[in-house]
Copies of this chain bind each other. A is one copy, B any other.
Amino acid sequence: ATVAMPAVVRAQPQTKWRLTSSFPKSLDTIYGGAEVLANSVREATDGQFDIQVFAAGEIVPGLQALDAVSNNTVEMCHTCSYYYVGKDPTFAIATSIPFGLNARQQNSWLLEGGGNQILDEFFATFNVKGLVAGNTGAQMGGWFRKEVKSPEDFKGLKMRIAGFAGRVMAKLGAVPQQIAGGDIYPALERGTIDAAEWVGPYDDEKLGFYRVAPYYYYPGWWEGGPSIHAFVNKAKWEELPKHYQAALRAGAALANETMLAKYDALNPGALKKLYGLGTKVLPYSAEILEASFKAAEEVYTEVCAENANFKKVYDQWKPFRSQEAFWFQYPDGTFDRFQAYLQQKKMI
């Protein structure tokens, strides 16, 4: 069945790129996504397409990764699109928006629901091409110094929370704060802030928040399944030989599935450890979730009125969310719920 053929001598252009990550090496799961991608591309091209990965701050600060690609300081980056909502709120939808999609729905929208196409038109105006290259799964809802039982408890609450979700929180009366990862712990300890959201148990446990803010809420309704993107400078993407583009696309897929698989494998043990350390793990009340949803809807209405890019993507995205919310109640939702029941009854 195998047709053995002689080796063909072909020209392989040697290409060396730099990738700037928005993440420190200590967040091995999310930082590691870029390494999975780069290793896959290097191996699949027999070392000819060599992407060197730099941690946040080594070339540019973490939150300037997109700019560095846009202006061709580096050829590519690994980052969260929603870090750039200050430039345009449309960047938020590519990662995750409040009460949006879970991880599977997010992949489905991007890959098969028209998401990547509509976003690429938008990304092109920033001179970049986007590739999905990671997901964390639904995140936790943050660490609080005191319990929050009703929407009123958010009034005046100073919370470290990212851009778009911060605007929703502000509708509840919270005061959103932008604080870099390393500065969250002292701010919580001193009481400069009352609450902070980060990622999930595996990443959060490393930062020690449980010592100064014992209430750990879920779910992070602003991040049901956030994508991590690789952005490539558009001109550099177009110059690439087709087979290097294919190697990058496949490497991004490997990074996407590996990152989520890793979070899912590591988070359960970290959550159990946090329980053991005395963390009080609590669900947001239905009342808080409903008030937050209402606030998010108000923000969407406002942003759609302010920004045509956002409206265009949001209008395409919204019916997709509806159909997925419908479908996931059938085999997936009921399978997961029965699994949860068996676990609660200690039957599995």
Instruction: Give chain A's interface residues, CB within 8 Å of chain B.
Output: 1-3, 5-18, 40, 43-48, 72-75, 99, 102-105, 107-113, 137-141, 200, 218-221, 224, 236, 241-243, 245-247, 249-251, 253-254, 256-258, 260-262, 264-269, 271-272, 281, 283-284, 289, 293, 318, 321-340, 342-344, 347-348
Contacts and interface: CB of A to CB of B under 8 A. Distances in A.
The 9 closest A-B pairs by CB, nearest first: A43-B246, A250-B250, A138-B331, A325-B343, A268-B327, A108-B264, A219-B331, A5-B14, A112-B265
Contacts of A245: 43
25 contacts: A2-B75, A7-B13, A9-B12, A44-B44, A44-B45, A44-B243, A110-B261, A111-B262, A112-B262, A112-B265, A113-B261, A138-B331, A200-B331, A218-B330, A219-B332, A268-B326, A271-B326, A272-B323, A272-B326, A293-B338, A322-B348, A325-B339, A325-B343, A328-B340, A333-B336
A277 to B, nearest CB: 16
B334 A339 contact: no
A41 B111 CA distance: 19
B257 A107 contact: yes
B339 A40 contact: no
Given A11-B9, A257-B253, A265 B113 contact: yes
B336 A328 contact: yes
A125 to B, nearest CB: 22
A6 B14 contact: yes
A99 B322 CA distance: 28
Contacts of A325: 339-340, 342-343, 348
Contacts of A344: 329
Contacts of A253: 250, 253-254, 256-258
Contacts of A249: 40, 254
Contact of A264 (B105, B221, B264, B284): B105
Contacts of A337: 333
A331 B348 CA distance: 20
Contact of A2 (B16, B43, B47, B336): B16
Contacts of A1: 17-18, 72-75
A137 B224 CA distance: 18
A218 B331 contact: yes
A31 to B, nearest CB: 16
A330 B1 CA distance: 50
A1 B243 CA distance: 22
Contacts of A327: 264, 267-268, 271
A295 B99 CA distance: 38
Interface centre among A102, A236, A262, A343 (most CB of B within 10 A): A343
A219 B339 CA distance: 11
A108 B45 contact: no
A205 to B, nearest CB: 14
Contact of A10 (B6, B10, B266): B10
Contacts of A47: 243
A242 B47 CA distance: 10
